[in-house]
Structure formats: structure tokens, C-alpha cells
Structure 1
């Protein structure tokens, strides 16, 4: 019997089309009910519940109860990073599930990747921070510099709170559409929250797309020049 991590088990959990659709839906970062996930997967509620039980046992999703309702979300950041990388690999091999539609340009421009900004704008933001020497990147290792800390504090982001998180402050995530890295980690999440709280951007209903307002887009491009 071979020893080591069981990638076959993880692959079997993700490999089922219904479960893959559920996981993709949860990449939007919102907790969803079994009924909502059943609709995304195109299966009956009872079947969806069976799939969710397998995903939860495999450590890919977690559930919480609120009143009579159950909500499911991705178990942790690592699950979202893994899924985004797999999506990038599939896209690079031409393995797409449908023809590009009207939402695709918006998704490629800016979208939610679990809890941080992805797409062209997500990659641009990381590139800009690196160019300004506010983030240092060696291979896939990224770290916030002193100048970067001053920058995010000037934006109103609590650096001390980021440090107390169990999650890395900075990490990279391979963007499926750009095939390059964007910024994840607690800083990536804090920046996306900041953009939404400031009214620069908002989530598109029933989509992972992020739509910037005219004013917000101008501010974003000024803050993160290339």
C-alpha cells in the first residue's frame, strides 16, 4: 500500500460534475444553502445533500446552522487556492464547459476568488504593489514591506488585525484567466472589502464578477498604477 497524501480521494471529490459545480459556486465567497447549491449543480435536493456530506467529510466544505437553515462554504483559503489553480490548468488546456458568454469579459476583468480580488484587476494590483516595492516577491513567496505596511494603514486597513490572523498576510493565487498571480491572504481579503466599503465596487448579483463604478475605477487605477 502506497503511503502519503491521497490525491485520488481529493480528485474523486472534485471530479464529479455536480460537486464541481457546487464548489465553483462557493468560490464566490458566500455561504449557500443546500437548495441553492442543488440548483447550481442541477440535481435534486436529496442528491445535493449526499454530495455535500462527502465534500464535508473530505474537508473541502464546512457547514454552519442558523435557525432552521444550514449554510455551506469552502472550508478554508487553501480550498479556494486549489480550485483557482485547477481552473487555470483546465483553461490552459482548452478544457471549458461552455462557450464564452456575456459575463465572461466582466469575470476576466474583476471577480471574487473566494474572498479576494481576481482577474485582470487582481493581477494589476499585485504587480503595482511589487513595482512600488510595497510587496516583495521571491518565487511564490510574498511579503509586505515597511512601505507596504504604511500604504495599507494610510488606506485605513488595520495592519495589527492582519497580523493576529492565523492566515498569511500575503500569499499568491494563480489566476485562472490571466495565468499569472494575484494577491490572496488576509491582505487580499481586506483590500477587496475596502473597495466595496468605499463604494468603489460592488458584487454583481448571481455572479462572481465585481463591477467598479466610474469613480471607483478611476480611484483604483490611480492607487495601483503600472
Structure 2
């Protein structure tokens, strides 16, 4: 069982990520201080680090630099509210393996973690989700419909992934909001309906069935 270190000083986000990862079968450690995180990561058996940039004391970039400077090779996925290209480049050039901007959807973070932890050279069929002639490749983040490649935005892809992980099951708007918009979702928003329309337009209207008063489900085209 892989152990993941979550370095995040916002308790709400740290708890949200830790709870989701434990539900997915991982063990977790949580640290809010950059200095303490470096010590913990070097002293424990850590398989992956989820690292926030905006930490008190030393920031995430410095934490990463110290880890790599002392020979730590575990994958590091950085979280940040900073969305500029310069910040992303700085993180990747400092030795980060991936970069996820806030607010993020847990399903996307989980997919990125699973990708980084998979055994090198061993194909993982769970990285390609299929239902009928619709498939999603979690490595390339691309959709394929009847042999035709379709571009999806990050949010569209996350919603589509939730449907393909639960074919034939009714997913409520609250489930879809929580999964795709994460800790930052507004339960009164109609954004799910808007994005389901986008998916219908791109992947086929007949695939996404409205279940009145309940939500939506993915079905096989007739």
C-alpha cells in the first residue's frame, strides 16, 4: 500500500485530500510546515508527495529543492493557487513531476497520483476507460468516440471520467459537483447541467440520459 505525504497548511483542503486518498486505498501523512515536511519525507517511507506551494516558513519550491538536493526521488505533485506559466515552469524545472492548480477536482488529482505511482514498463489497463465505442485515456487526457479523437477541457474530461467509472449508474448533481469541482463547489450552481450539455455536444447527446429529479447516467447509444 503506497504512503502519500500531503503538505498543505489549509486544514480543510488537507482533510479533503487525505479522506479521498484513504478511500482510494492509500495511507496518508499530513504536514503543514515546510521544514517539518522535508524532515518527514526524508525520514519515512514516502511513495509520493502532494506539495502545496504557499506554505508558511519555507515555500513549496524550497521544500522541493531541499528534497531533490538530498537525493529524494519520490514523485512530487505540486498544488498552487498561482496559475501563471512562470510558476508552473519553476515548479517543473525544480524537479516536480506534475502541477495541479487550485481549485482542483479530486478525481483529476487521484488520476495523476495513480499515473505517477504505476509500475514503470507495465501497462495498466485501468488507465484507459471504455464504454461501448467511447473511451478515455487517462495518460494523454484524450477522448475517443468511434475512432475519432475529441478534445475535452480539463473539467469536461473529469466529468466524463466519472461517468465512465460508473456506467449505467445515476450520478446526482451533488456527486458530480463534488467530484469535478472538489472542495470549492457551490451546491446551488447549475454548472453541472451546463457541462453535461458540453459533453453531449462533443461525445453524443444520446449517451447522457437525464433522470428527472435525480441526475444523469451514461448509457449505451441505441
Asked which structure has the greater RCO (Cα within 8 Å, sep 6+), the reply is 1
More strand by share: 2
TM-score by length of 1: 0.28
TM-score by length of 2: 0.29
